[in-house]
Amino acid sequence: MEVTMAEPDGVLTERNVDVAALYDMLRRCKASAEEIVAKMLAIKKEAEPKSELREVVTQILLNFVTLRQVNRSILLEEDRVKAETELAKAPVELTTLQLHNLMYEKHHYVKALKACKEFTTKYPGIELIPEEEFIREAPEDIKRSILSTDRTHDLMLKRLNYELFQRKELCKLREKLEQQKKALQETIANRKKFLSSLPSQLKALKKASLPVQHQLGVPQTKKLMQHQLAELLPPPLYVIYSQLFAQKEAFGENIELDITGNVKDAQAFARQLANKDAAMSTNLVNSKLEDDVPDDNGDGQRRSKRPKKVPSKENLDHSGIYQSHPLKVILHINNDEASDMNPAKLITLKFEFLINLNIVCVGVEDSEEVPENDILCNLFPDDTGLELPQQSAKLLIGSSLSFDESRTSRPYKWVQHLAGIDCLPEVSPLVSVSEESSGETTKHASALSSLSLYRQQNRVQTVVQRIRTRKKAQLASV
């Protein structure tokens, strides 16, 4: 730093002085002055000669001069720094003033731009089509018209006229569509009103057509109801119903079919069976997944499947073994040679399905007397209806028990075949034939041929003919 210092002879010169050195010198002069003052106090206390005191006073005066010179240098340096700061502050203030001016101008321009953008023109909110599309699609009378001498303004006016033309056309189209919509709504309301009254009209028509159906012998309503009930039948009874109905429709067999029983119970049973099948399939998948999981020993081998426990026969509820399905199939066999002496209706049979035994039973309807079953007994050889046709049913009911003889419906073998339940015999027919005599063999062979004839496609016709023949013979013998 450049400072101005006074020499001992009073001449001022400029030198480069370090401010830190000035402060260091100031501290040394202060310390020296304190030592001299302490020395002066010591001289006065000890009453030494005044000559030594004068020398000490001279030294302290020199120190005071040095302190004043250093202090003056420091003050001059501060004045110089302040002057330089003032000189540097002026450009900063000028730059700051210019910045504020620019910010003010920016704010003014932004405000003007916003006012221009928000300025409401003569055509507010109109989105015109592009100019190329206007030139391509506008009518010629609009494009040829001259509305202004300014080309740009003339084009804008033409585009506005074309926009007005389009909006008028759209208003006309909207009115036309509104009229069509109103007409369609009226049509829909009339059709809804008709559809709401249609069930009652169909019900009245159905009720009115019943006498005509009975007169013409075409009970269509009853037929539809029977077909709907047939969907709730178990598969064996459904097979019997479908075969008998096909025989009647195809060959004109003189029989009548009915399905009786509790419909609600049948629907509940069908839902229960569906849920049971779904649960069984889920359990089967889970069991397969468990079988595929390796055991905890880590040897990679699959766990062996444990055999399921079979309930003992003592735990079976024999009263529930003969539980039948809620729906039954009723077969009315009419006389094919009806007359005044011979009534049309010969016999009525009732087919029912025993759920637990999985067999079909048949009996004479509205007949509690066991001799009526003589018509069905041995309809085919060795088929009394007292022996269960399936080995599984025998195991379920017990080896010591047979089919209940007090029941009018019995599980004849021909009924099982008619229902599609074909079971293998317990003993091979060849073995049984070899054990019999020659005469009995011939008789048994004829029985087997008769049974094989029944097992052909005309099994329904064979059953109906044999039952009709037996009933006619019974009526003739009375």
Q: Are residues 186 and 229 in the same domain?
A: no
Average pLDDT over residues 304-308: 46
Q: Are residues 376 and 262 in the same domain?
A: yes
Q: Are residues 259 and 333 in the same domain?
A: yes
Q: Are residues 206 and 226 in the same domain?
A: no
pLDDT for the residue numbered 218: 59
Q: Are residues 154 and 75 in the same domain?
A: no
Which one-letter DSSP state was computed for residue 329? Answer: E
Residue 301 lies inside a defined structural domain of this protein: no
pLDDT for the residue numbered 309: 45
Residue 373 lies inside a defined structural domain of this protein: yes
pLDDT for the residue numbered 292: 52
The tens digit of pLDDT for each residue in 26-79 reads: 888 888 888 888 888 887 777 777 677 777 788 888 888 888 888 888 888 888
Last residue of a domain, one of 73, 88, 117: 117
Q: Are residues 107 and 198 in the same domain?
A: no
Q: Are residues 386 and 354 in the same domain?
A: yes
pLDDT at 201 over 70: yes
> Whole-angstrom Cα distance, residue 33 to residue 56?
10
pLDDT greater at residue 391 or residue 300: 391
pLDDT for the residue numbered 429: 58
pLDDT for the residue numbered 286: 63
pLDDT for the residue numbered 452: 59
Residue 295 lies inside a defined structural domain of this protein: no
> Whole-angstrom Cα distance, residue 199 to residue 4?
124
Q: Are 237 and 327 in contact (CB under 8 A)?
A: yes
Q: Are residues 48 and 133 in the same domain?
A: no
Q: Give ∠ CA 363-425-246 in degrees, rounded to 5.
A: 45
Q: Are 72 and 6 in contact (CB under 8 A)?
A: yes
Residue 106 lies inside a defined structural domain of this protein: yes
Per the structure, the count of domains in the chain is 3
Q: Are 410 and 373 in contact (CB under 8 A)?
A: yes
Residue 134 lies inside a defined structural domain of this protein: yes
Q: Is 331 exposed, middle or buried (0-12, 13-18, 19+ CB in 10 A)?
A: buried
Q: Are residues 240 and 328 in the same domain?
A: yes
Least confident of 64-73, 127-136, 308-317: 308-317
Instruction: Using a pLDDT cut of 70, give the percent of the chain over it.
Output: 73
pLDDT for the residue numbered 444: 56
Residue 309 lies inside a defined structural domain of this protein: no
Q: Are residues 235 and 189 in the same domain?
A: no
Q: Are residues 238 and 366 in the same domain?
A: yes
The model's confidence at residue 293, banded by pLDDT at 50, 70 and 90, is very low
Place of tokens 């309301």: 189
| Residue 146 structural domain | 126-218
Q: Are residues 255 and 161 in the same domain?
A: no
Last residue of a domain, one of 218, 233, 248: 218
Place of tokens 């079971």: 423
Residue 306 lies inside a defined structural domain of this protein: no
pLDDT at 465 over 70: yes
Which whole-number Å values give the CA distances from 142 to 164, 166, 351, in the listed order? Answer: 11, 12, 89
pLDDT at 339 over 90: no
Place of tokens 């735990």: 315
Last residue of a domain, one of 117, 135, 170: 117
Measuring CA to CA, which residue among 235, 240, 206 is closest to residue 223? 206
Residue 294 lies inside a defined structural domain of this protein: no
pLDDT at 96 over 90: yes
Which whole-number Å values give the CA distances from 465 to 178, 222, 458, in the listed order? Answer: 72, 26, 11
